[in-house]
Structure 1
Amino acid sequence: MSLIEAPRTPTRGRRTGGINWEKWGWIYMRASGVVLVVLIFGHLLVNMFLGEGVKAIDFAFVGGKLSDPFWQVWDGLMLWLALIHGANGMRTIVNDYATNPKVRTVLLAGIAVSTIILIALGTLVITTFDPCPAGADPALLASFCEAL
């Protein structure tokens, strides 16, 4: 039978120096969770309740939103925090349940690669989105686009 040591038991023979990544991951989850609640509810408020509601969401609405630097930062921050928050949660689950070191390494690498790819693609879309594409139907364009 193994005993669980008391929380303040001095460590013997364990690594005590360096950065405690688990502690910082735990702190990140709490801080990002609070910020994400504000970002998500702000996003829902603007998209669902203000103005004409859901029926107003179309290409012109999204184009107008993503042409504003404020909303680019808002959506970019929401994207980054949510993806890293989710990846950190998945990392914790893998560390808790994957007992085979090789399987754990493959799963953690898959989480890291997919998170990096999704962050890169999402950031690319947010920062390079053109709300006034050439040759588009003028009825679908945002009101600030000049008819070409």
Structure 2
Amino acid sequence: MTAAYDPPATRGIEAPRAPRRKLGGRRSNMEMYSWLFMRLSGIVLVVLVLGHLLIMNVLDGGVHRINWGFVAGRWASPFWQVWDLLMLWLAELHGANGLRTVINDYARKDGTRFWLLMLLAASVLLTVGLGTLVIFTFDPTIS
């Protein structure tokens, strides 16, 4: 008798996204919303970042005009505060969501995965919190 052929692609290495356990309906919905968020936030981020780069680096003299007074004048307007806040929040959440996916795909041990996700959450909260605080408490009159 001959042994059944076992193709090399099916031995030993599992796909990075191979499920470790059966996922319930709630978790799979969260992954769908996460996927959707990545696509929508990416589109909005392209507009926000290209607008930011155009204004900061191309128009009215470019980088050479950016100083304390320029930032103070820009953040005196609620429009620019909201623009920069949206850019900060979306970029941070978009990047964190991508990194969360990488951690879930490649962290083998549950404990390692848990602590990496906790470090990620702490860094996101710190960065978003400090960035939001700076945008809304910026005082152009400090000498």
Please tell me whether residue 52 in structure 1 is matched to residue 61 in structure 2.
yes
The runs of at least 4 consecutive aligned structure 1 residues that moved more than 2 Å come to 13-19
1:20 alignment counterpart:
29
CA distance in 1, matches of 2:62, 2:27: 51
Q: Secondary structure at the match of 1:102?
A: helix
Query: Does the C-alpha gap of structure 1 residues 14 and 73 become closer, same or farther in structure 2, counting only changes over 3 Å?
Result: closer
Query: Does the C-alpha gap of structure 1 residues 94 and 17 become closer, same or farther in structure 2, counting only changes over 3 Å?
Result: closer
Give the length in aligned residue pairs. 124
CA distance in 2, matches of 1:108, 1:18: 16
Q: TM-score, normalised to structure 1's length?
A: 0.79
Please tell me whether residue 100 in structure 1 is matched to residue 109 in structure 2.
yes
Displacement of 1:16 in angstroms is 3.4
Amino acid at match of 1:31: L
Q: Secondary structure at the match of 1:20?
A: helix
1:85 alignment counterpart:
94
Q: 1:20-50: per-residue Cα shift (whole Å, max 9, x none)?
A: 1100000000000000000000001111111
Percent identity at matched positions? 50
Displacement of 1:78 in angstroms is 0.3
1:10 alignment counterpart:
none
Q: Secondary structure at the match of 2:44?
A: helix
Displacement of 1:17 in angstroms is 5.4
Equivalent residues in 2 for 1:1-148, closer than 5 Å: 15-16=24-25, 20-133=29-142, 136=143
CA distance in 2, matches of 1:72, 1:127: 7
Choose between structure 1 and 2: higher helix proportion. 2
CA distance in 2, matches of 1:18, 1:93: 16
Query: Does the C-alpha gap of structure 1 residues 17 and 86 become closer, same or farther in structure 2, counting only changes over 3 Å?
Result: closer
Query: Does the C-alpha gap of structure 1 residues 100 and 130 become closer, same or farther in structure 2, counting only changes over 3 Å?
Result: same
Query: Does the C-alpha gap of structure 1 residues 112 and 17 become closer, same or farther in structure 2, counting only changes over 3 Å?
Result: closer
Of the structure 1 ranges 13-22 and 60-69, higher mean CA displacement relative to structure 2 is found in: 13-22
| CA RMSD of superposed structures (Å) | 1.7
